[in-house]
A and B are shown apart, each in its own frame.
Chain A
């Protein structure tokens, strides 16, 4: 009797065939799995944001199981003794329960908060990469706009989440938000009344922010992220110029298996970093802030870092109140300019930048190759200028902490911020522009004359010159064209010296013996010199 043998090796193939027989997916899937992605470390920054968003969804779902988004007053009776017997909102009490009584609740809360900070930080870093390399140019303007919107929607997600625990810090933030809404001319009081359902703080704002934070904003984020990734897929990723890379092709790794494995691994790394931070670094100790009461405002009450620039602009704003003599006199408070007008301008500028640049350069072609920041000095300068502006505002948002810990007068910090905000960005533009030109010039110099070898030669007439290793064959004076990519500036990139040792953390190969260039015979030991004397000996 013949026993039928179960062929394990054939199982995947058979399964795949069975699936394809039913769903006919082989052809589209092959296209998908063979899709090529260019490989460069800076292309992984956006993924940090994507992966921390996934962590945000996972930890956030856990938190909703235990959070009670209500402002009904309860008497806390949990395990945190210093607040026992204190009247507080149900939202704050359940936040304390998550922190002290739910198993694993505190690390989940802290991971959620760290993941939120990382999400916003990664968005900004990713945006800087896109900006400085010109990846936003046609045909990718739409994706630039979606990315900018992702920052602002993430901003809203962060602010609503910051407000939910209803501790002293989040209530103070809400109070400021209500003041900002009130400062809008004409509609301000109506907007505030609509959002808070009457006077601040009312009894419904936590419930409203909760549904915005767990449903509306995440849905919007998911939709925007989907379109963002879909467009990257459709329009294909940009790539750096280089051998074999043109505006019309994509050189890189296939999606499956290498790219997928790398991305899976990178997700694990991001998750691990967030988990480590959630476990090691205490974030937002809500139990110390106590329940929100209108008369309790702690020193060093700051928003999370991505909102801090608005806090900073408010602190730097002079108290210019505009009174309009209509009726009994209408007042536009100074708060309106730094918190409503300024972010409005920033949003408009960031959304429109790709079109403004194309118009300025009269460049309406499609670009799939990236530019090195040094090759477009005005754009790099503008980017550094904007970054300087943002950093000064952010630092000013924490100027009381800086003043206190570095023993600087708070008034001096405010004035330094005001003056710095006007002077430093143009200065940053100028310095960046000059640095870019300098780097360009050095690239051209190497292309024209070759790489510096470090060998100094003395000419018969007594001059000293450095020997250059020409990049091109021939007489060494033919100038090469700049290809928009890294110009070799060290000998080991030319093979004249031993190549750089491979391996990231430790060498994964034996360093090769340096090959000896035929032009330069191996150096021999210096011949013994005879002492030159005058023939006489001094005694």
Chain B
């Protein structure tokens, strides 16, 4: 049967569809050559595409990263462990979190943490800008991860109208319509955006610190991030509150209710005391 014959013939011969196979010795030689060629191709491709660092067991750190490691070994190692591999029950591994995460956590003073609690609070930062860059370089070289683009002004050219819409959909559930922040469950909270810089907001979106979800570049593109930052920085912070001298903290109707009793009712009760006292 033809099918039995086909099975006995080589693959290439079958593809060629030509019966009458070459000699046995030639077939073996051809197979050897093809094997060698395939091995060389695979090896070459691996050499070209694989990261060079992986080839060495202990990659040398850049000088900035080495400085960062020195800082890390003094200030962070207690909770994040040697080589930033994390300590069970104390601090997570930092391999793969990226420079963006380091920049956010350290430049807002959240790290180093004062104590273990529901959530690290913003406080005056411990490290200088250069030291933060060194720490970021170290963590970046450990395992890669998201990086904040260069520059301090990350909202240039942002469209506040689009940014406002994106802010209301993605951010206002937790940070509130005003950017003033809000409560989450069990002592956790979304912080106020008032002290946040462009880079910090960008880094927070990229790295999703604490209870915040990650808004990677696939969900919110870099242009949309610029729009959101523009809305926060230009509209929410520089709005100027056209409604009056006091914005009552922009906490919504709760402080407005307080104001009507503490200001309105108190003033008018004093007025009625005054008027009734005139008899």
Footprint of B on A, CB under 8 Å? 39-45, 47-48, 81-86, 99-100, 106, 110, 113-114, 117-118, 121-122, 125, 168-169, 253, 258, 262, 265-266, 269-270, 273-274, 277-285, 288-290, 293, 295-306, 308, 394, 397-398, 400-405, 407-412, 504-505
Contact = CB atoms under 8 A, between A and B. Distances in A.
A121 B260 contact: yes
A301 B251 CA distance: 9
Given A169-B177, A305-B257, A401-B252, 8 more contacts: A106-B243, A273-B268, A279-B244, A284-B253, A299-B190, A300-B177, A302-B254, A304-B257
A114 B246 CA distance: 14
Of listed B182, B190, B254, B277, residue having the most chain A CB within 10 A: B254
Contact of A298 (B177, B187, B258, B271): B177
B268 to A, nearest CB: 5
B160 A409 contact: no
Contacts of A405: 251
Interface in B143-189: 160-161, 163-165, 168-169, 172-178, 180-187, 189
Contact of A411 (B185, B264, B279): B185
Contact of A285 (B243, B257, B265, B277): B243
A82 B242 contact: no
Interface in B202-261: 231, 234-236, 239, 241-248, 250-261
A409 B118 contact: yes
A253 B279 contact: yes
B247 A299 contact: no
A299 B174 contact: yes
B263 interface: yes
B261 A288 contact: no
Contact of B244 (A44, A281, A305, A397): A281
A274 B271 CA distance: 13
Interface string B4-41: 00000000000000000000000000000000000000
- The 4 A-B residue pairs with the shortest CB-CB distance in the complex, in nearest-first order: A305-B257, A282-B243, A299-B182, A398-B254
A43 B272 CA distance: 9
Given A44-B276, A168-B177, A280-B245, A305 B183 contact: no
Nearest to B192: A404
Contacts of A412: 187
Contacts of B186: 409-411
Contacts of B190: 299
Query: What is the interface of chain A mostly: helix, strand, loop, or mixed?
Result: helix
Query: What is the interface of chain B mostly: helix, strand, loop, or mixed?
Result: helix
Contacts of B264: 114, 117-118, 121, 273-274, 277
B168 A305 contact: no
A410 B272 contact: no
B278 interface: yes
Contact of A296 (B118, B172, B184, B245): B172
Contacts of A402: 254
B275 A300 contact: no
Contacts of A404: 181-183, 189
Of listed B186, B235, B244, B267, residue having the most chain A CB within 10 A: B244
A288 B171 CA distance: 13
Of listed B236, B264, B273, residue having the most chain A CB within 10 A: B264
B46 interface: no
Q: Chain B: interface residue count, which band?
A: 35 or more
B242 A86 contact: no
A303 B268 contact: no
Contact of B165 (A114, A253, A283, A290): A290
Contacts of B243: 106, 110, 281-283, 285
B246 A82 contact: no
B263 A281 contact: yes
A82 B172 contact: no
Given A117-B260, A281-B246, A301-B252, A39 B279 contact: yes
Contact of A82 (B181, B235, B261, B276): B235
24 contacts: A39-B276, A39-B279, A41-B273, A41-B276, A82-B164, A258-B279, A273-B268, A273-B271, A274-B264, A279-B244, A285-B178, A289-B177, A290-B164, A299-B172, A300-B251, A300-B252, A302-B252, A306-B257, A397-B254, A398-B254, A408-B187, A409-B185, A504-B273, A504-B274
Nearest to B264: A118
Contact of B187 (A118, A397, A409): A409
B273 to A, nearest CB: 5
B271 A122 contact: no
A246 B274 CA distance: 26
Contact of B265 (A125, A169, A304): A125
B269 interface: yes
B257 A117 contact: yes
Nearest to B121: A407
A271 B98 CA distance: 59
B268 A282 contact: no
Given A288-B250, A299-B175, A303-B253, A99 B260 contact: no
Contact of A282 (B183, B234, B241, B271): B241
Contact of B173 (A266, A297, A505): A297
